[in-house]
Amino acid sequence: ASPSSSDADAISRFQEYLRIDTAQPAPDYAAAVAFLREQAAAAGLEARTLELVAGKPLLLLRWPGRRPSLPSILLNSHTDVVPSEPHKWDHLPFSAALDEASGRIYARGSQDMKCVGMQYLEAIRRLRSAGFVPDRNIYITFVPDEEIGGHQGAELFVSSKEFKEMNVGLVLDEGLASPQEEYRVFYAERSPWWLTIKAKGAPGHGAKLYDGSAMENLMKSMEAIRRFRTSQFDLVKSGEKAEGDVVSVNFAYLKAGTPTPTGFVMNLQPSEAEVGLDIRIPPSAHVEALERRLVEEWAPSSRNLTFEFKQKMSVLDNFGKPAITPADSTNPWWLLLEEAVKSAGGKPGKPEIFPASTDARYFRKIGLPAFGFSPMANTPILLHDHNEFLHKDEYLKGIGIYESIIRTLATHKDGAKDDESRAEL
């Protein structure tokens, strides 16, 4: 069915946002914030641009509620996107081309996560024009730098005075597309450990056989790492565990050898060899056992191996507990979210652990409940991939889902224990 004029307008606004090149490492944040401030004005929202770091604007929008003392709702999204290889796309990544035949909107950020940022705003437009007024303050944030760790975005924001004044009770952030009809919802995520292991050994003639060369040392470690990786991956392949529940280890780079202007020296065994690892740790992992495995098996000093962490996020929050948001009947926020998705015709899937990392970790770290959710069903998972797309109908359906979520979460349930504690409703 062809979209109504308001649907067509919503789609063209989505395309306009997608056309702004906010790809790392040089996102056009100024253009994105200028566009989003126009959208905020059209949606009747108060807007403030915070520059916690120069050149890294964080846009903070507010929809005042009738009872501002209630814990507020924060709808978060990031404005930056990952780079792409345009020549490998069927449609240029910032063309935001709507393929009429398929109904797909192709663009970098169409899934991750410009769709969500615009769906928040479109849902609020519709709620306001329907005369809805929230009980709680509703905040919408567009933060920078999520794709490079959020260190100058969400991580700074959660310790700012502006954030403290917001009295946030619940955060929604990004999820993942679902190839099934059930939407995916995330209540935790895996913590990134980025690790380098360096092997040293005696150099030697390429024809000489001897033990303990740097390459042999490193290969022994990589073989042990690969066996561990396989053991974890087999748990996923067998269906015994979800991807977010195992420890993943992937090889990010290898570095060794003596370069020359035309290649590498072929008859000199190098005295050093290095591997980079991207490790993701679920909240349930036995961290001490993994650290022991690293020291004793993967990088034992007895084999002239050393290691260095480039990033080592804890699986615990600031209170020493696993950074997890309960997604069951003990958490009234979860029950409301589930009810809101269902009442808008959506099917929430079984709550999962997000396999990668998002800015949600910074909110959970300070003890706030945060769910990862992107309303994309019947959609292949294409974040960070070539030909990332979102079907226009899925996009429009997602606006309706957020209308229901915002209406449900923003309305105070009389009798709830809102005023006594932030964790409760």
Ligand X SMILES: CSCC[C@H](NC=O)C(=O)O
Considering the rule CB under 6 A, would residue 149 count as an interface residue with ligand X? yes
Selection from ligand X, Zn ion, none that 6 binds (CB < 5 to 8 A by kind) is none
* Residue with smaller CB distance to ligand X, 323 or 425: 323
Q: Which residues pair with 280 in a beta bridge?
A: 192, 248
Provide the minimum distance between the beta carbon of 233 and ligand X in the complex, in angstroms, as a whole number. 18
* Angle between helix 29-42 and helix 114-129 axes, rounded to 10 deg: 20
Site residue total, ligand X (CB under 6 A): 6
**Binding piece for ligand X, criterion CB under 6 A, among 102-110, 155-163, 356-364, 409-417:** 356-364
Its sign, for the CA torsion 153, 155, 161, 165, is: positive
Selection from Zn ion, ligand X, none that 145 binds (CB < 5 to 8 A by kind) is none
Q: Is the peptide bond before 376 cis (omega within 30 degrees of 0)?
A: no
Provide the minimum distance between the beta carbon of 133 and ligand X in the complex, in angstroms, as a whole number. 35
| Distance from C-alpha of 89 to C-alpha of 93, rounded to nearest angstrom | 7
Sheet-wide strand order for 389-391: 97-99, 104-106, 389-391
| Distance from C-alpha of 162 to C-alpha of 57, rounded to nearest angstrom | 14
Exactly one of 49, 357, 378, 387 binds ligand X (CB under 6 A); which one?
Answer: 357
CA-closest candidate to residue 319, choices 366, 359, 282 = 366
| Distance from C-alpha of 110 to C-alpha of 128, rounded to nearest angstrom | 25
Provide the minimum distance between the beta carbon of 190 and ligand X in the complex, in angstroms, as a whole number. 8
Kindly write down the DSSP assignment for every residue of 380-392, as one continuous string: ---TTSTT-EEEH
First to last CA, the chain: 40
Site residue total, Zn ion (CB under 5 A): 3
| Distance from C-alpha of 81 to C-alpha of 386, rounded to nearest angstrom | 13
Cβ proximity of 383 and 207 under 8 Å: no
* Residue with smaller CB distance to ligand X, 359 or 418: 359
Considering the rule CB under 5 A, would residue 113 count as an interface residue with Zn ion? yes
**Binding piece for ligand X, criterion CB under 6 A, among 21-29, 265-273, 283-291, 352-360:** 352-360
* Residue with smaller CB distance to Zn ion, 323 or 425: 323
Q: Of 146, 189, 317, 394, which residue is the catalytic one? A: 146
* Residue with smaller CB distance to Zn ion, 359 or 394: 359
Selection from Zn ion, ligand X, none that 356 binds (CB < 5 to 8 A by kind) is ligand X
Let me know if 146 is a catalytic residue.
Answer: yes
151-170 binders of ligand X (CB under 6 A): none
Let me know if 100 is a catalytic residue.
Answer: no
| Distance from C-alpha of 359 to C-alpha of 172, rounded to nearest angstrom | 10
Closest-CB residue for ligand X? 356
| Tokens 């990332």 -> residue | 388
Provide the minimum distance between the beta carbon of 92 and ligand X in the complex, in angstroms, as a whole number. 22
Alpha-carbon dihedral of residues 150, 152, 153, 156, nearest 10 degrees? 110
Selection from Zn ion, ligand X, none that 134 binds (CB < 5 to 8 A by kind) is none
Exactly one of 144, 169, 192, 351 binds ligand X (CB under 6 A); which one?
Answer: 192
| Distance from C-alpha of 38 to C-alpha of 29, rounded to nearest angstrom | 14
Provide the minimum distance between the beta carbon of 384 and ligand X in the complex, in angstroms, as a whole number. 6
Which three-class secondary structure state does DSSP give residue 175? coil
| Distance from C-alpha of 108 to C-alpha of 116, rounded to nearest angstrom | 13
* DSSP one-letter code for 244: G
* Residue with smaller CB distance to Zn ion, 110 or 331: 110
Selection from ligand X, Zn ion, none that 113 binds (CB < 5 to 8 A by kind) is Zn ion
Q: 399 is written with which tokens? A: 């606006």
Show the binding pattern over residues 243-262: x = contacts ligand X (CB under 6 A), - = does not.
--------------------
Provide the minimum distance between the beta carbon of 298 and ligand X in the complex, in angstroms, as a whole number. 20
Q: Of 80, 112, 145, 173, which residue is the catalytic one? A: 80
* Residue with smaller CB distance to ligand X, 358 or 374: 358
| Tokens 């944030």 -> residue | 141
**Binding piece for Zn ion, criterion CB under 5 A, among 65-73, 170-178, 221-229, 259-267:** 170-178
Selection from ligand X, Zn ion, none that 271 binds (CB < 5 to 8 A by kind) is none
Provide the minimum distance between the beta carbon of 109 and ligand X in the complex, in angstroms, as a whole number. 12
Considering the rule CB under 5 A, would residue 274 count as an interface residue with Zn ion? no
Alpha-carbon dihedral of residues 114, 244, 346, 364, nearest 10 degrees? -70
- Is 141 buried (19+), middle (13-18) or exposed (0-12) by CB count in 10 A? buried
Considering the rule CB under 5 A, would residue 112 count as an interface residue with Zn ion? yes
Residues that bind Zn ion (CB under 5 A): 112-113, 174
Residues that bind ligand X (CB under 6 A): 147, 149, 192, 356-358
Residues designated catalytic: 80, 146
